[in-house]
Structure 1
């Protein structure tokens, strides 16, 4: 029987994530209703039965019961069988039609779309209206003639940009790589040739591109070379491409393009732009081009801005700087050329890092000046992710060498890989994570390890956990439960807690023992970032800057006395110790930090380990402006204290919003009572 390509993908997903996948997650991932999923599971089980495999059952808790024998199914070639019946969501249909009309080499009638999509004439006509609208937004026109059928007119550059977006979505989001090749009439051999070319580029540039970039760009490059050979060449490119000539990437691409009989300068620059924009897993060493030096300076200034706005100093600053530079090189090219590809991680980042993200948005002006345009939210989320990885490491448990060791395999580039391993370390303090690598590196990895967490299925004799590169709170909780259960059953994980429970088990009933285990697990389980945010509550400005913490004085005083007086309420309620106040003053004298956040308004603070007990904020309004150690002036002093990198961010964002309003700043300076200021909150 024909199971259908979508059902094969569902089957593949169930097997790959058999320990954690739920019906609800499958419904969301494949845009299905509960009824549609049930129908699909029925088709899957019928298919498995015909091939003498055991069936999958859906449990009452929503999870799937997947027999171990089904792991062999992944070795079959069913998933690449292009004869399977296909069925698609509305979004997929629209993208498929767009691709068909953009790459058409023959007349396309309505029947072509009906036959390919297996839907009615009216459905195709509705989808064509959406396609027409999206094409027009990019300056392209969908035409129709009785003799010519459907075809697109417009610039070759605009057509390629849309082909690029659609191909990436089909291969990376919908996981229809084989369909993309089929529609573009690109053979596997042709795609492999492009992969080999990308490997040559890696060798020449001494970089290693992210696996997802290699997959998607191989197909796109095959399409581009095919179009060039058929006379569909670029007759114009954006001005932002002009600086490409002379770069090392251009030199390499020109050599490889010449080998394929492509000598058009516009085409070589266009291909080079795509190479420059590809996400990386590893980067070249010792590059000192003007472009790279400019990025280094902009990243340094961005980190400075974030530290000043967030009022914290990041410990592993140099490591953060290196990672941001590595990320920003291709990212700034993507922004400059409008090549925005890859996972949209905003829905994963913003719930947990909204306050941090707001400060990052205010910090990236140096990068925006360098690239010449605003950084889109989709790209900004990656920068927030990187910074968030470094500022949430406080308090993470350091594990000893006696703990089980795990490696992480991620195909989604250096940024997502870093976030994934950081998340896993947070989720599993019982496990020692030693390496993060690509699938190719893993195939050659010889060092000892006990288990592997991977974003793709792998061949390994060790315990394998297939995970999503970005997980929500529920997925993290489910993964933790699954991993700990599996490792304990195999005897890989035996913590002090387990040893104690073994002793306890000898002296209590089985029911009481099981209940005790559940309660201990719930108590000791590390919280996810979302759960931590929810647990600690959101500290608003009005909750920190209360009446007793705001002082308006008419007495003149020196700057040291003013800071001590401003900090007094926080000393009274125990949020800080006197050591914290001394550290603020010493820091001003020794380092002269940038404290001014508005005209005449400074936020004075010290490090998170210099005498802070709790989050606190206090404000002092002076009768006249004073000199702060001879380098800045202030008539409003805010003292901020935070025991970590995050607890104060919401309140700080709210304060900054007030201080960005000149009218409100003037009212603060003119206040005669604390209530005059509190009314602004």
Structure 2
């Protein structure tokens, strides 16, 4: 008795995913309950003829599968030809045939090789095309040439490397590749021998996994080169790779293959560089990528700040990350990262860590010149998370907070940063809009927001901009709510008694004095801004010459130009900064900081010569998006991230006052606007 294609597919799914329910199984493969029942009966009949126990199905739709079934279908003793292939496995094998076949391929070739019907192959070919979409490749069929792969050779090579790896993970994968690609064992053994020689000669050591896959990949790549399917011009830089040990390894492995062009040698070098390669316990300076170590160190410091921890044995962790990130550097730079999603394998705590790692990878992105793919950040997360677990560190017990602010990104970020400084012992995961909050998936303990929100977590309502006394009260309220005490209500004598119970105090008077100084320090010391004589006040920036009053303007773009004109005329900004503000507004419209008031701005390097602000008051507001009409346009020109902050905070307080905001909108004179600005420029 033999199984139909449908029954083979269902059995393969049950063996690879035994926890699937009958309802989920039917939905996944588009089957009715009756069709699934027929398949199930055929599968059990086939199992009985193979002297295997039948699969049971519970009333709840779960399956009970005997271990003997798994052993028979996945065991090492199972002949390759009799293994039931899953859909994904058939997809990989079809792609390997397309990559390596010496003859024209028709449906008959696929049906014979995979032991399935033509209809199944046609369905599988659609799935192959879906898989190829990630590589920007396509399948073309013609009567003359059969089925062919089309697309850039560089992308085909990426596909070849990934699919070879996937097939080698299958049961009997080595035999399948040898059979499909007509690779002889002696060819594999010769490459093995050359790799071992390279390891000894150049003091390189490849991982066991890569040693297994490299011979097959190198043989298949060489064949494509010999057929004239070569990688030509692409962005790999000779100067960057030619002095690496991996380039020397490429030359050693192919010492007798003189026909390999330089571009191909660079591609093979790149393949070696993107694998996990170790040559000593610690990388030497000669092997390091310029500025990679400082970038990793900076990334770790940002992570420590976000996670509220100090990593122990930091140098060892730095080296461990360097071993992984060096090959990742080349994968990311040349877009060779695998497309397989590994995020689902992250544990609950690791998912929170992953979020914090992603927020810390800016230094690496700047160095590489590309954003870090999700898979690469997931690998980095597992390395850091594993290290923390080994050292006994965790973020699980730390208070995790989010900030929900409906007033736009600019206000939200300021609120987020202020609260993070106010509560340095908390992990602040994100600043969110209300809509983002409703769909938020990470676990958190408390929410800060200026509005009421429906949540089963602790909600602390607070203003977007907090004054000195408001910060003091909020910190007391939160600590009392979370911990049941106010930090200042701790008595030194009680502490001395507790310490005396556990240790010998050498100098009780000095200890008491130190504890007293610590407990009675200014509670706001952790949240004070460095507001000294050098801080610029709001009225110093928005002086009368930078205030413009108009009845109306034709468009939002004109509003920016009119508001910015005084800054352009005095040389504080260049005309290019005005264009940059307009462009950034199109990209990120969240610059509204209160009803009828907006603060367009761009990056300092886009045309700022001197710190400045300018204000435009419009009697008839200008429409900005469908949700906002703006009467007050304040252009901000920042030279760095600090000098304008004090004035900006004063502006935010003004924006939060409905009374004074309306006075600004309704006034008719520059002098009156300036008097209102001065009211918020005294603290």
TM bucket by the smaller chain? 0.5 to 0.7
- The residue that corresponds to 2:573 in the other structure is none
> 1:99: how far off?
3.2
Counterparts in 2 of 1:610-625, with a 5 A limit?
none
CA distance in 1, matches of 2:323, 2:345: 22
CA distance in 2, matches of 1:5, 1:182: 23
Counterparts in 2 of 1:223-234, with a 5 A limit?
223-234=220-231
CA distance in 1, matches of 2:143, 2:479: 83
> 1:85: how far off?
6.8
Counterparts in 2 of 1:13-92, with a 5 A limit?
22=19, 66=66, 77-81=77-81, 84=82, 87-89=85-87, 91-92=88-89
CA distance in 2, matches of 1:71, 1:140: 37
Higher Rg of the two aligned structures: 2
Contact 1:550/1:620 (<8 A) preserved: no
> 1:302: how far off?
0.3
CA distance in 2, matches of 1:393, 1:534: 27
- The residue that corresponds to 1:244 in the other structure is 241
| 1:450-478 deviation digits (Å, cap 9, x = unpaired) | xxxxxxxxxxxxxxxxxxxxxxxxxxxxx
> 1:360: how far off?
1.9
> 1:250: how far off?
1.0
Aligned with 2:255: secondary structure? helix
* TM-score, with structure 1 as normaliser: 0.54
- The residue that corresponds to 1:546 in the other structure is 460
> 1:305: how far off?
1.4
Contact 1:140/1:154 (<8 A) preserved: yes
Contact 1:283/1:326 (<8 A) preserved: no
Structure 1 pair 633/380, CA: closer, same or farther in 2 (3 Å)?
farther
Counterparts in 2 of 1:468-617, with a 5 A limit?
538-542=445-449, 546-547=460-461, 552-553=466-467, 567-569=475-477, 572-573=480-481, 575=483, 578=487
> 1:365: how far off?
1.5
CA distance in 2, matches of 1:286, 1:567: 46
| 1:334-370 deviation digits (Å, cap 9, x = unpaired) | 1123222385311223854444333322211211122
Aligned with 1:186: secondary structure? coil
Question: In structure 1, which of residues 373, 376, 385 is the aligned counterpart of residue 373 of structure 2?
Answer: 376
Question: In structure 1, which of residues 298, 301, 306 is the aligned counterpart of residue 298 of structure 2?
Answer: 301
Specify every segment of 5 or more residues in structure 2 that has no aligned partner in the other structure, as ranges. Answer: 397-439, 450-456, 491-517, 539-589, 601-644, 659-683
Contact 2:233/2:263 (<8 A) preserved: yes
Contact 1:227/1:233 (<8 A) preserved: yes
Q: Determine whether 1:160 maps to 2:65.
A: no
Contact 1:93/1:127 (<8 A) preserved: yes
Contact 2:273/2:327 (<8 A) preserved: yes
CA distance in 1, matches of 2:656, 2:220: 67
> 1:243: how far off?
1.7
Counterparts in 2 of 1:180-199, with a 5 A limit?
180-199=177-196
- The residue that corresponds to 1:116 in the other structure is 113
> 1:254: how far off?
0.7
- The residue that corresponds to 1:626 in the other structure is 531
Contact 2:111/2:117 (<8 A) preserved: yes
Question: In structure 1, which of residues 359, 362, 371 is the aligned counterpart of residue 359 of structure 2?
Answer: 362
Q: Determine whether 1:99 maps to 2:96.
A: yes
Counterparts in 2 of 1:125-524, with a 5 A limit?
125=122, 128=125, 138=135, 142-172=139-169, 176-204=173-201, 206=203, 208-240=205-237, 242-259=239-256, 263-279=260-276, 284-289=281-286, 291-292=288-289, 294-341=291-338, 344-349=341-346, 352-391=349-388
Contact 2:207/2:276 (<8 A) preserved: yes
CA distance in 2, matches of 1:222, 1:60: 52
Specify every segment of 5 or more residues in structure 1 that has no aligned partner in the other structure, as ranges. Answer: 398-421, 424-532, 556-561, 582-609, 612-616, 636-657
Structure 1 pair 166/548, CA: closer, same or farther in 2 (3 Å)?
closer
* TM-score, with structure 2 as normaliser: 0.53
CA distance in 2, matches of 1:188, 1:44: 37
Structure 1 pair 93/660, CA: closer, same or farther in 2 (3 Å)?
farther
CA distance in 2, matches of 1:371, 1:75: 44
- The residue that corresponds to 1:641 in the other structure is none
> 1:309: how far off?
3.1
Aligned with 2:531: secondary structure? strand
Contact 1:168/1:342 (<8 A) preserved: no
Structure 1 pair 152/621, CA: closer, same or farther in 2 (3 Å)?
closer
| 1:153-210 deviation digits (Å, cap 9, x = unpaired) | 5544333222223323333479855433332222444444444444445445555544
Aligned with 1:151: secondary structure? strand
> 1:107: how far off?
1.8
- The residue that corresponds to 2:642 in the other structure is none
Contact 1:361/1:380 (<8 A) preserved: yes
| 1:410-433 deviation digits (Å, cap 9, x = unpaired) | xxxxxxxxxxxx99xxxxxxxxxx
CA distance in 1, matches of 2:368, 2:353: 22
CA distance in 2, matches of 1:220, 1:674: 63
CA distance in 2, matches of 1:249, 1:243: 11
Contact 1:299/1:367 (<8 A) preserved: yes
Aligned with 1:289: secondary structure? coil
Contact 1:191/1:218 (<8 A) preserved: yes
Higher relative contact order (CA 8 A, sep 6+): 1
Contact 1:301/1:366 (<8 A) preserved: yes
- The residue that corresponds to 1:595 in the other structure is none
Structure 1 pair 675/252, CA: closer, same or farther in 2 (3 Å)?
same
Structure 1 pair 92/380, CA: closer, same or farther in 2 (3 Å)?
same
Q: Which moved more, 1:533-542 or 1:181-190?
A: 533-542
Contact 1:551/1:621 (<8 A) preserved: no
CA distance in 2, matches of 1:21, 1:382: 27
Contact 2:74/2:83 (<8 A) preserved: no
Aligned with 2:183: secondary structure? coil
